[in-house]
Amino acid sequence: YARKPATDEFAAGLTRGDWRLGAGLEIDHHLRRAVPDENRVFFYRRTTVTANVRRDPAEGSRQRLEYSYEFQRKGDIFNPDPTGVSIESRRRVHRVLAAVDAPLSAIDRLEVGHALLERSARTGFPAAPTNSISYRRWESQPYARWRRRINQSLLTDLGTFLSFGERRQNAAGNLGSSLFDSIIEAKLGAGLDFIFGPNGRIGIYSAFKLNDPSHPWGGGNIRALFLF
Protein backbone atom coordinates (compact mmCIF):
# COMPACT_ATOMS: atom_id res chain seq x y z
CA TYR A 1 0.00 0.00 0.00
CA ALA A 2 1.36 3.39 -1.05
CA ARG A 3 -1.67 4.82 0.80
CA LYS A 4 -3.31 2.53 3.34
CA PRO A 5 -7.09 2.28 3.90
CA ALA A 6 -8.38 4.89 6.35
CA THR A 7 -11.89 6.14 7.11
CA ASP A 8 -13.04 9.10 9.19
CA GLU A 9 -16.63 9.49 10.36
CA PHE A 10 -18.23 12.60 11.84
CA ALA A 11 -21.78 12.94 13.16
CA ALA A 12 -23.83 15.59 14.94
CA GLY A 13 -27.35 15.58 16.35
CA LEU A 14 -29.83 17.91 18.03
CA THR A 15 -33.04 17.00 19.86
CA ARG A 16 -35.87 19.41 20.70
CA GLY A 17 -38.98 17.74 22.08
CA ASP A 18 -40.22 15.24 19.49
CA TRP A 19 -37.91 16.62 16.80
CA ARG A 20 -34.45 15.28 15.97
CA LEU A 21 -31.93 16.74 13.55
CA GLY A 22 -28.89 14.82 12.38
CA ALA A 23 -25.99 15.16 9.98
CA GLY A 24 -23.06 12.92 9.09
CA LEU A 25 -19.90 12.83 7.04
CA GLU A 26 -17.95 9.70 6.09
CA ILE A 27 -14.61 9.96 4.28
CA ASP A 28 -12.82 6.97 2.79
CA HIS A 29 -9.43 8.55 2.26
CA HIS A 30 -7.40 8.10 -0.89
CA LEU A 31 -6.22 4.49 -1.11
CA ARG A 32 -3.48 3.25 -3.45
CA ARG A 33 -2.51 -0.41 -3.66
CA ALA A 34 0.18 -1.77 -5.98
CA VAL A 35 0.07 -5.25 -7.53
CA PRO A 36 3.62 -5.64 -8.93
CA ASP A 37 3.01 -9.05 -10.54
CA GLU A 38 0.35 -7.44 -12.75
CA ASN A 39 2.03 -4.03 -13.22
CA ARG A 40 -1.20 -2.62 -11.79
CA VAL A 41 -2.11 0.09 -9.26
CA PHE A 42 -5.61 0.23 -7.78
CA PHE A 43 -6.86 3.52 -6.31
CA TYR A 44 -10.09 4.44 -4.56
CA ARG A 45 -11.71 7.19 -2.48
CA ARG A 46 -15.26 8.00 -1.44
CA THR A 47 -17.10 10.74 0.46
CA THR A 48 -20.67 10.47 1.78
CA VAL A 49 -22.73 13.30 3.30
CA THR A 50 -26.07 12.73 5.06
CA ALA A 51 -28.68 14.96 6.71
CA ASN A 52 -32.03 14.10 8.26
CA VAL A 53 -34.89 15.52 10.31
CA ARG A 54 -37.30 13.31 12.26
CA ARG A 55 -40.37 13.74 14.39
CA ASP A 56 -40.66 10.78 16.75
CA PRO A 57 -43.41 11.22 19.38
CA ALA A 58 -44.07 8.59 22.02
CA GLU A 59 -47.49 7.97 20.43
CA GLY A 60 -49.03 8.63 17.03
CA SER A 61 -47.40 9.03 13.66
CA ARG A 62 -43.70 9.54 12.98
CA GLN A 63 -42.22 11.52 10.10
CA ARG A 64 -38.75 11.69 8.60
CA LEU A 65 -36.95 13.45 5.78
CA GLU A 66 -33.48 12.28 4.69
CA TYR A 67 -30.90 13.39 2.14
CA SER A 68 -27.61 11.78 1.13
CA TYR A 69 -24.86 12.56 -1.36
CA GLU A 70 -22.05 10.23 -2.39
CA PHE A 71 -18.97 10.83 -4.51
CA GLN A 72 -16.72 7.93 -5.48
CA ARG A 73 -13.61 7.68 -7.62
CA LYS A 74 -11.69 4.48 -8.36
CA GLY A 75 -9.61 2.84 -11.03
CA ASP A 76 -7.04 0.29 -12.16
CA ILE A 77 -3.96 1.68 -13.88
CA PHE A 78 -1.51 -0.60 -15.70
CA ASN A 79 2.03 0.51 -16.48
CA PRO A 80 2.99 -0.40 -19.10
CA ASP A 81 -0.46 -0.76 -20.69
CA PRO A 82 0.01 -2.21 -24.20
CA THR A 83 -3.57 -3.51 -24.43
CA GLY A 84 -5.27 -0.32 -23.17
CA VAL A 85 -7.12 -1.90 -20.25
CA SER A 86 -6.46 0.87 -17.68
CA ILE A 87 -9.76 2.26 -16.41
CA GLU A 88 -10.91 5.13 -14.19
CA SER A 89 -14.45 5.88 -13.03
CA ARG A 90 -16.27 8.60 -11.10
CA ARG A 91 -19.76 8.41 -9.62
CA ARG A 92 -22.13 10.88 -7.94
CA VAL A 93 -25.41 9.91 -6.28
CA HIS A 94 -28.12 12.13 -4.75
CA ARG A 95 -30.98 10.54 -2.79
CA VAL A 96 -33.97 12.12 -0.98
CA LEU A 97 -36.44 10.14 1.14
CA ALA A 98 -39.67 11.30 2.83
CA ALA A 99 -41.74 8.88 4.93
CA VAL A 100 -44.60 8.72 7.45
CA ASP A 101 -45.06 5.84 9.89
CA ALA A 102 -48.44 5.63 11.66
CA PRO A 103 -50.18 3.09 13.93
CA LEU A 104 -53.19 1.22 12.56
CA SER A 105 -53.92 -0.65 15.80
CA ALA A 106 -52.19 -1.72 18.95
CA ILE A 107 -50.10 -4.26 17.00
CA ASP A 108 -50.03 -2.85 13.44
CA ARG A 109 -48.08 0.03 11.88
CA LEU A 110 -48.11 1.31 8.31
CA GLU A 111 -45.22 3.21 6.71
CA VAL A 112 -45.57 5.02 3.38
CA GLY A 113 -42.75 6.87 1.74
CA HIS A 114 -41.20 8.12 -1.45
CA ALA A 115 -37.54 8.19 -2.49
CA LEU A 116 -35.98 10.10 -5.38
CA LEU A 117 -32.58 9.03 -6.73
CA GLU A 118 -30.29 10.69 -9.27
CA ARG A 119 -27.03 9.02 -10.27
CA SER A 120 -24.39 10.13 -12.75
CA ALA A 121 -21.12 8.40 -13.59
CA ARG A 122 -18.29 8.49 -16.08
CA THR A 123 -15.79 5.83 -17.09
CA GLY A 124 -12.58 6.82 -18.84
CA PHE A 125 -9.63 4.96 -20.36
CA PRO A 126 -6.28 6.69 -19.80
CA ALA A 127 -4.61 4.83 -22.68
CA ALA A 128 -7.36 6.03 -25.05
CA PRO A 129 -8.47 9.48 -23.79
CA THR A 130 -10.99 9.95 -26.62
CA ASN A 131 -12.94 6.91 -25.39
CA SER A 132 -15.35 7.31 -22.49
CA ILE A 133 -18.77 6.20 -21.30
CA SER A 134 -21.10 8.46 -19.31
CA TYR A 135 -24.13 7.23 -17.39
CA ARG A 136 -27.15 9.02 -16.01
CA ARG A 137 -29.99 7.43 -14.08
CA TRP A 138 -32.95 8.73 -12.12
CA GLU A 139 -35.66 6.87 -10.24
CA SER A 140 -38.88 7.66 -8.41
CA GLN A 141 -39.49 5.01 -5.74
CA PRO A 142 -42.80 5.02 -3.79
CA TYR A 143 -43.32 2.27 -1.24
CA ALA A 144 -45.59 1.05 1.57
CA ARG A 145 -44.75 -1.32 4.47
CA TRP A 146 -47.11 -2.99 6.91
CA ARG A 147 -45.59 -4.29 10.13
CA ARG A 148 -47.45 -6.44 12.66
CA ARG A 149 -46.16 -7.56 16.05
CA ILE A 150 -47.43 -11.09 16.54
CA ASN A 151 -45.98 -11.28 20.05
CA GLN A 152 -42.96 -10.03 21.97
CA SER A 153 -40.65 -12.30 19.98
CA LEU A 154 -41.99 -12.08 16.41
CA LEU A 155 -42.55 -9.16 14.04
CA THR A 156 -43.83 -9.52 10.44
CA ASP A 157 -43.06 -7.10 7.62
CA LEU A 158 -44.92 -6.92 4.27
CA GLY A 159 -44.19 -4.22 1.70
CA THR A 160 -44.71 -3.12 -1.89
CA PHE A 161 -41.94 -1.24 -3.68
CA LEU A 162 -42.29 0.52 -7.04
CA SER A 163 -39.67 2.19 -9.21
CA PHE A 164 -40.11 4.39 -12.28
CA GLY A 165 -37.36 6.19 -14.13
CA GLU A 166 -34.84 6.04 -16.93
CA ARG A 167 -31.17 5.33 -17.54
CA ARG A 168 -28.93 6.64 -20.31
CA GLN A 169 -25.53 5.48 -21.49
CA ASN A 170 -23.60 7.71 -23.86
CA ALA A 171 -20.48 6.32 -25.50
CA ALA A 172 -17.71 8.46 -27.03
CA GLY A 173 -14.91 7.40 -29.31
CA ASN A 174 -15.03 3.91 -30.79
CA LEU A 175 -17.03 2.28 -27.96
CA GLY A 176 -20.23 1.79 -29.91
CA SER A 177 -23.64 3.42 -29.81
CA SER A 178 -25.42 5.12 -26.95
CA LEU A 179 -28.26 3.45 -25.06
CA PHE A 180 -31.53 4.58 -23.46
CA ASP A 181 -33.79 2.47 -21.28
CA SER A 182 -36.89 3.05 -19.14
CA ILE A 183 -37.12 1.64 -15.62
CA ILE A 184 -40.37 0.06 -14.46
CA GLU A 185 -40.16 -2.31 -11.52
CA ALA A 186 -42.58 -3.59 -8.88
CA LYS A 187 -41.62 -5.83 -5.99
CA LEU A 188 -43.28 -7.45 -3.00
CA GLY A 189 -41.12 -7.81 0.10
CA ALA A 190 -41.87 -10.08 3.05
CA GLY A 191 -39.94 -10.68 6.23
CA LEU A 192 -39.88 -12.08 9.73
CA ASP A 193 -37.97 -10.57 12.65
CA PHE A 194 -37.23 -12.86 15.58
CA ILE A 195 -36.60 -10.61 18.60
CA PHE A 196 -34.42 -11.63 21.54
CA GLY A 197 -35.09 -9.06 24.22
CA PRO A 198 -34.02 -5.42 23.78
CA ASN A 199 -30.55 -6.21 22.41
CA GLY A 200 -30.89 -8.73 19.61
CA ARG A 201 -32.86 -9.80 16.57
CA ILE A 202 -32.54 -12.02 13.51
CA GLY A 203 -34.44 -11.11 10.36
CA ILE A 204 -35.29 -13.30 7.35
CA TYR A 205 -36.37 -11.33 4.27
CA SER A 206 -37.32 -12.18 0.69
CA ALA A 207 -38.44 -10.26 -2.40
CA PHE A 208 -40.70 -11.18 -5.31
CA LYS A 209 -40.78 -9.44 -8.72
CA LEU A 210 -44.37 -8.50 -9.54
CA ASN A 211 -43.45 -7.07 -12.94
CA ASP A 212 -41.84 -10.34 -14.11
CA PRO A 213 -44.21 -13.27 -13.38
CA SER A 214 -41.99 -15.68 -15.34
CA HIS A 215 -39.14 -15.08 -12.86
CA PRO A 216 -40.90 -14.15 -9.60
CA TRP A 217 -38.04 -14.79 -7.15
CA GLY A 218 -36.13 -11.58 -6.45
CA GLY A 219 -33.65 -12.75 -3.83
CA GLY A 220 -33.49 -12.61 -0.08
CA ASN A 221 -31.25 -12.09 2.91
CA ILE A 222 -30.74 -12.96 6.55
CA ARG A 223 -29.68 -10.24 8.97
CA ALA A 224 -28.59 -10.51 12.58
CA LEU A 225 -28.13 -7.68 15.09
CA PHE A 226 -26.88 -8.08 18.65
CA LEU A 227 -25.91 -5.15 20.88
CA PHE A 228 -23.29 -5.55 23.60
Q: What is the tens place of the pLDDT at every residue in 153-208? A: 999 999 999 999 999 999 988 877 889 999 999 999 999 999 998 899 999 999 99
pLDDT mean across residues, the chain: 94
Q: Note the pLDDT tens digit of each residue in 73-90.
A: 999 999 988 888 899 999
Average pLDDT over every residue of 1-25: 96
Residue 127 confidence (pLDDT) above 80? yes
Identify any residues that bridge with 34 across adjacent strands, giving them in sequence order. Answer: 41
Question: Tell me, what's the pLDDT at 59?
Answer: 87
CA distance 109 to 107: 7
Cα–Cα distance between 115 and 134 in angstroms, integer? 24
Q: State the DSSP code for 126.
A: T
pLDDT tier, 141 (very low <50, low <70, confident <90, very high otherwise): very high
From residue 1, alpha-carbon distances to 28, 32, 36, 47 in Å are 15, 6, 11, 20
What's the pLDDT score for residue 212? 87
Say how far apart CA 19 and CA 64 lie, in whole Å. 10
Q: What percent of the chain has pLDDT over 90?
A: 84
What span, in angstroms and rounded, lies between the C-alpha atoms of 26 and 70?
Answer: 9
Does position 28 have pLDDT exceeding 90, yes or no?
Answer: yes
The DSSP secondary structure of 55-84, one letter per residue, reads E--SSS-EEEEEEEEEEEEEEEEESS-TT-
What three-state secondary structure class fits 31? strand
